[in-house]
């Protein structure tokens, strides 16, 4: 092979690589745009990470510290439309914590929580990641009449209360609330 | 010219479509091969389970009610002139053309599923092993707080016999009249599910004896991890069949569980995962999109297609009916599934059926569309020949189930709405958009071949009969 031919092949290879890279970047950018913008506090929408199940997929966000928040309405699922979510057993039952690890174990009793005007309960769970590492995540369930809004706060440092509080503030933000209200109104 | 023709056609068709999408007070019922024989408005109370009992020389319908609505939490009982929380309607249907409302027995205060007395079963004292032989016993739920037993030998004057308190979140129970064993759907303290089974010996209804608690492993007290879906209701084939068919789930993640009755009643009772698994002979996990409200066994059915096959010519089936819970099709379709359970450890769904949505534009009519429940009578007149499915705004649907591999509809009846029919709403742009449609919730049959349907949206009780060729399916003249 002549030097000129070799040079041409390298140039073609580099050009093709560039095209593929640009295509991948464009696809990533397209998906990012489709998912929505990052909010002022740094919460970036990510794809719903769980496989298809009986409920419509929810929405998920990740912040700069690697904390994930997964939210979805479960319409008509509240155990008691009058009292809302008042027991830890119901939090175990209705949140999506089992999607992270079916063998989750509660860390301790849960506590009451209020997300904007919706009340319910939150509970911390110990679980194992797919790689077998121990982790902690928080399950949250609040009710509006017979409808539930469930959320998970997952990622490093979730055992830290200040980290969870930051996630709770995000759950109360317009980014989440506008979407949640739209979903509830569709019912 | 062509465009003008199309416009004209659209204008001509449009009113018919609009008509099909909404029911009007005073409009005739929609029906095929079914006819209304009689009607009672049940005091405009939202209805759940009807149980028809041959009592002496009379036929009495006992109908359980949900709690009242936000607008009318305690409807007035015209017989007493008092506002009463919804409970149990007792109706003499001896003459089905002229049903006579005998008594309203108030239930628990509270609206919708929080109050009322949804469930009702009836057994003769003469058939229960240790009961007063002259009594007729009605077992009913009392809101979400108790189960009650009444002597209804005089249906106009029920007398309370006993009460099982503290059984919260009650639902669709089963009572074996020949043994007295009752499978009470409830929540028990510390169990991780809203509804599981508490089994009682009610052979002497005045002295209930607890046998055990039962549920899916993971629901028991002290368990961790994912909580399996809650119970909807069981159906037992008694000591002869030695099976109990449990349906778990409502409109999602359903499960049919086949349980050895003898092992269930006599096995170790401590609710450990091992003890909960011990009596289970088979399970069928359904799709995440479908629940299991009613699991109705149809056993030892000869299948004509397999008549000359060396094996499998006679098969066991369970008809699984899901429950739709959201208005205007805001969920996956809830429908009817036929499971071949001949090999109990490997049940398999072999067919399904739904009312065709387009046949009535049911997703636009308002309220729920989809199945809720089937008749549960095993009287010879219809058993293993026809099944009746309550399909909310599509009324009741009559299926020919003689070949469960190929169920087919042979009739339907969608009652007309009345001025008492309650509205059903969805949110549109943040505001309620309400429609009024029939919501046929439950159905039962009697030994005479009459079909009783009741309405969740307060329209009342319709007593029906089959007509035309459909009667031949059941061998009716």
Among all residues of chain A, which has the CA nearest to that of B224?
A105
Q: What is the CATH number of the domain that holds B382?
A: 2.130.10.10
Instruction: Print the domain residue range for B458.
Output: 24-473
H or E element that contains B408:
strand B408-414
Residues of A in contact with B287 (CB under 8 A): 54
Nearest C-alpha of chain B: how many angstroms from A180?
Answer: 12
pLDDT of residue B20: 52
Facing residue for A187 by CB, picked from B110, B253, B330: B330
pLDDT of residue A182: 86
Whether B84 and B74 have beta carbons less than 8 Å apart is answered as yes
The verdict on A186 touching B (C-beta cutoff 8 Å) is yes
Q: How far apart, in whole angstroms, are the C-alpha atoms of residue B111 and residue B46?
A: 10
Query: Into how many domains does chain B fold?
Result: 1
Facing residue for A75 by CB, picked from B191, B253, B330: B330
Is the ipTM higher than 0.85? The answer is no
Q: Extract the tokens encoding A10.
A: 């390298």
Asked if A89 and B426 come within 8 Å (Cβ–Cβ), the reply is: no
Closest residue by Cα to residue B337 from B284, B377, B386: B284
pLDDT of residue A187: 57
Is residue B152 situated within a structural domain? yes
Asked if A98 and B113 come within 8 Å (Cβ–Cβ), the reply is: no
Nearest C-alpha of chain A: how many angstroms from B423?
Answer: 15
Is residue B457 situated within a structural domain? yes
pLDDT < 50: residue spans in chain B = 1-19
The verdict on A23 touching B (C-beta cutoff 8 Å) is no
Residues of B in contact with A181 (CB under 8 A): 430
The verdict on A184 touching B (C-beta cutoff 8 Å) is yes
| Torsional class of B300: left (φ above 0), alpha (ψ -120 to 50), beta (otherwise) | left
Asked if B427 and A186 come within 8 Å (Cβ–Cβ), the reply is: yes
Among all residues of chain A, which has the CA nearest to that of B434?
A187
Asked if A54 and B227 come within 8 Å (Cβ–Cβ), the reply is: no
Asked if B226 and A89 come within 8 Å (Cβ–Cβ), the reply is: no
Nearest C-alpha of chain B: how many angstroms from A24?
Answer: 34
pLDDT digits (tens, 9 = 90+) for B25-71: 989 999 999 999 999 999 999 999 999 999 999 999 999 999 999 89
The verdict on B194 touching A (C-beta cutoff 8 Å) is yes
Q: How far apart, in whole angstroms, are the C-alpha atoms of residue A139 and residue A135?
A: 13
pLDDT of residue B2: 44
Q: Extract the tokens encoding B379.
A: 């009287």
Whether B181 and B235 have beta carbons less than 8 Å apart is answered as no
Q: How far apart, in whole angstroms, are the C-alpha atoms of residue A70 and residue A149?
A: 11
pLDDT of residue B9: 44
B41: buried, middle or exposed (CB in 10 Å: 19+, 13-18, 0-12)?
A: middle
Among all residues of chain B, which has the CA nearest to that of A89?
B192
Is residue B16 situated within a structural domain? no
Cα A118 to chain center, whole Å?
Answer: 19
The DSSP code for B47 is: E
The verdict on A75 touching B (C-beta cutoff 8 Å) is yes
Whole-angstrom distance between the N-terminal and C-terminal Cα of chain B? 55
Asked if B226 and A98 come within 8 Å (Cβ–Cβ), the reply is: yes
pLDDT at residue A146 is higher than 90:
no
Task: Please report where in the chains the tokens 């408005």 appear, as a residue.
Answer: B41
Facing residue for B114 by CB, picked from A52, A82, A102: A82
Nearest C-alpha of chain B: how many angstroms from A179?
Answer: 13
Asked if A54 and B289 come within 8 Å (Cβ–Cβ), the reply is: yes
Mutation target to probe the B interface, by most B beta carbons within 10 A, among A53, A55, A89 is: A89
Whether B62 and B138 have beta carbons less than 8 Å apart is answered as yes
Q: How far apart, in whole angstroms, are the C-alpha atoms of residue B322 and residue B252?
A: 9
The verdict on A56 touching B (C-beta cutoff 8 Å) is no
The verdict on A76 touching B (C-beta cutoff 8 Å) is yes
Is residue B11 situated within a structural domain? no
Residues of B in contact with A79 (CB under 8 A): 169, 194
pLDDT digits (tens, 9 = 90+) for A160-179: 999 999 999 999 999 999 99
pLDDT of residue B261: 98
Query: Average pLDDT in the A19-47 region?
Result: 85
Q: Extract the tokens encoding B235.
A: 């159906």
pLDDT of residue A83: 84
Is residue B252 situated within a structural domain? yes
Is residue B65 situated within a structural domain? yes
Nearest C-alpha of chain B: how many angstroms from A134?
Answer: 15
Is residue B38 situated within a structural domain? yes
Closest residue by Cα to residue B205 from B264, B121, B265, B103: B121
Is residue B186 situated within a structural domain? yes
Nearest C-alpha of chain A: how many angstroms from B303?
Answer: 33
Asked if A103 and B169 come within 8 Å (Cβ–Cβ), the reply is: no
Cα B171 to chain center, whole Å?
Answer: 10
pLDDT digits (tens, 9 = 90+) for A82-97: 788 999 999 999 999 9
Cα B233 to chain center, whole Å?
Answer: 9
Q: How far apart, in whole angstroms, are the C-alpha atoms of residue B214 and residue B386?
A: 32
pLDDT at residue A3 is higher than 60:
yes
Q: Name the residue with higher pLDDT: B337 or A133.
A: B337
pLDDT of residue B11: 42
Q: How many CB atoms lie within 10 A of CB B44?
A: 21
Asked if A82 and B330 come within 8 Å (Cβ–Cβ), the reply is: no
């Amino acid at each position: 092979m002549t030097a000129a031919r070799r040079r041409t092949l390298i140039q073609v290879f580099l050009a093709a690589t560039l095209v593929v890279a640009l295509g991948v970047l464009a696809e990533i950018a397209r998906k990012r745009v489709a998912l929505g913008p990052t909010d002022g506090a740094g919460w970036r929408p990510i794809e719903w990470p769980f496989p298809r199940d009986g409920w419509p997929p929810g929405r998920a966000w990740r912040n700069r510290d690697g904390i994930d928040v997964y939210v979805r309405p479960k319409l008509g699922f509240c155990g008691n439309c009058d009292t809302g979510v008042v027991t830890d057993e119901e939090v175990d039952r209705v949140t999506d914590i089992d999607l992270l690890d079916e063998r989750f174990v509660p860390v301790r009793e849960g506590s009451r929580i209020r997300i904007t005007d919706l009340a319910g309960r939150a509970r911390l769970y110990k679980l194992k990641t797919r790689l077998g590492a121990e982790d902690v995540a928080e399950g949250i369930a609040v009710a509006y009449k017979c409808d539930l809004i469930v959320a998970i706060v997952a990622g490093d440092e979730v055992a830290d209360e200040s980290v969870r509080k930051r996630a709770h503030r995000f759950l109360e933000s317009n980014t989440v609330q506008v979407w949640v209200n739209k979903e509830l109104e569709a019912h | 010219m062509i465009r003008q023709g199309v416009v004209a056609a659209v204008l001509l068709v449009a009113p018919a479509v609009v008509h099909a999408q909404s029911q009007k007070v005073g409009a005739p019922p929609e029906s095929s091969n079914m006819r209304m024989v009689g009607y009672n408005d049940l005091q405009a109370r939202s209805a759940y389970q009807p149980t028809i009992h041959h009592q002496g020389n009379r036929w009495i319908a006992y109908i359980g009610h949900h709690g009242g609505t936000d607008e009318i939490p305690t409807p007035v009982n015209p017989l007493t002139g008092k506002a009463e929380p919804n409970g149990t309607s007792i109706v003499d249907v001896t003459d089905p053309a002229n049903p006579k409302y005998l008594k309203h027995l108030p239930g628990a205060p509270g609206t919708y599923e929080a109050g009322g007395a949804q469930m009702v079963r009836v057994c003769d004292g003469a058939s229960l092993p240790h009961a007063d032989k002259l009594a007729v016993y009605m077992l009913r739920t009392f809101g979400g707080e108790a189960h009650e037993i009444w002597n209804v030998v005089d249906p106009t004057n029920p007398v309370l016999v006993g009460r099982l308190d503290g059984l919260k979140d009650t639902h669709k129970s089963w009572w074996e009249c020949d043994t007295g064993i009752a499978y009470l759907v409830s929540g028990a303290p510390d169990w991780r599910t809203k509804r599981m089974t508490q089994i009682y010996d009610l052979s002497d209804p005045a002295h209930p004896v607890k046998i055990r608690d039962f549920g899916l492993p993971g629901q028991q007290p002290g368990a961790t991890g994912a909580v399996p879906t809650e119970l909807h209701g069981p159906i037992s084939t008694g000591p002869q069949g030695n099976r109990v068919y449990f349906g778990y789930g409502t409109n999602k993640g359903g499960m049919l569980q086949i349980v050895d009755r003898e092992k269930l009643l006599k096995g170790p009772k401590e609710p450990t995962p091992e003890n909960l698994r011990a009596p289970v002979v088979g399970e069928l996990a359904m799709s995440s999109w479908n629940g299991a409200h009613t699991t109705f066994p149809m056993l030892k059915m000869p299948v004509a297609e397999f008549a000359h096959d060396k094996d499998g010519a006679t098969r066991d089936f369970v008809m699984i009916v899901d429950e739709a819970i959201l208005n205007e099709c805001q969920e996956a379709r809830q429908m009817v599934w036929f499971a071949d359970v001949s090999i109990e450890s490997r049940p398999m769904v072999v067919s399904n059926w739904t009312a065709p949505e387009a046949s009535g534009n049911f997703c636009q009519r308002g309220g729920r569309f989809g199945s809720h429940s089937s008749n549960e009578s095993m009287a010879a007149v219809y058993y293993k020949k026809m099944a009746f499915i309550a399909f909310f705004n599509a009324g009741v649907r009559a299926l020919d189930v003689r070949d469960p591999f190929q169920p087919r509809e042979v009739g339907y009846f969608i009652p007309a709405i009345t001025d008492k029919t309650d509205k059903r709403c969805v949110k549109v742009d943040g505001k309620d958009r309400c429609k009024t449609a029939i919501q046929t919730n439950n159905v039962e049959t009697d030994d005479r071949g009459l079909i009783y349907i009741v309405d969740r949206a307060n329209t009342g009780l319709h007593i029906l009969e089959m007509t035309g060729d459909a009667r031949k399916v059941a061998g009716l003249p």
